[in-house]
Amino acid sequence: MLKRMATRPFGERVTVIDRVVTTVSRFAMLLIVLGAAITFFEVVMRYVFASPTTWVHKTTLWLAAVTYLASGILVMQRREHIRVTVIYDAVSPKLRLVFDYLALYVLVVYATLMLVGSADVVWDGFWHAVKTGAVLGLPLRPTIKPLVLVGTVIVAVVAVNNLLVDHLKFGRTNRADEQEKTAE
């Protein structure tokens, strides 16, 4: 699976953004294991020692939210997001380029409006740091809003990167793909 993630689904060109997204996504996969481990810890504490925790549920939800954001970025980078392929595959490459520019325009406008419209709310919530009320007092809630904003901006950056790679042949050729082709 990790080898599959190292190569791009549409071509051999790879950029720094592609490598960073792939690396961060590999680490985000570990958050799922961490969430399962602390859930197992909660089950043991609750049913074996009769001493339930107050922080596991909220921490697991936070880990799931971060994993969801990271997976959205990876899906955009790998171009596995939802697309109406019946129409997209039936048109000429020039019209596909128009569709790609239109989709990019909508995404960048959305990211800009999201950033401008909610930046002050996110900033206030982050600095006031409403805590969970548990014993540890983890400030999980105020970190999700900034992560959603950052994730939205990163998705827009990855979409621009995809357009540059797909249509303008931006980026370097992946050396691993070259070696596989020469070996065949």
Mean pLDDT of 21-37: 91
- The answer on pLDDT for 135 being more than 80 is no
Indicate whether 177 belongs to any domain.
no
Indicate whether 180 belongs to any domain.
no
Containing structural domain, residue 60: 2-169
Mean pLDDT of 101-112: 90
- What's the confidence (pLDDT) of residue 2? 43
- What's the confidence (pLDDT) of residue 76? 87
- What's the confidence (pLDDT) of residue 43? 94
141-168 vs 93-128: helix axis angle to the nearest 10?
A: 160
d(CA 71, CA 106): 21
What would the pLDDT profile of 63-84 be if each residue is shown by its tens digit? 999 999 999 899 888 877 777 7
d(CA 121, CA 24): 27
Nearest 10 degrees: Cα torsion 89, 151, 1, 182: 60
- The answer on pLDDT for 15 being more than 50 is yes
Q: Is the pTM of this model over 0.85?
A: no
- What's the confidence (pLDDT) of residue 13? 65
Question: What band does 8 get if pLDDT is binned at 50, 70 and 90?
Answer: very low
d(CA 110, CA 144): 19
Indicate whether 71 belongs to any domain.
yes
Number of domain units in the chain: 1
Q: Percent of the chain at pLDDT above 90?
A: 20
Chain position carrying tokens 């549409």? 10
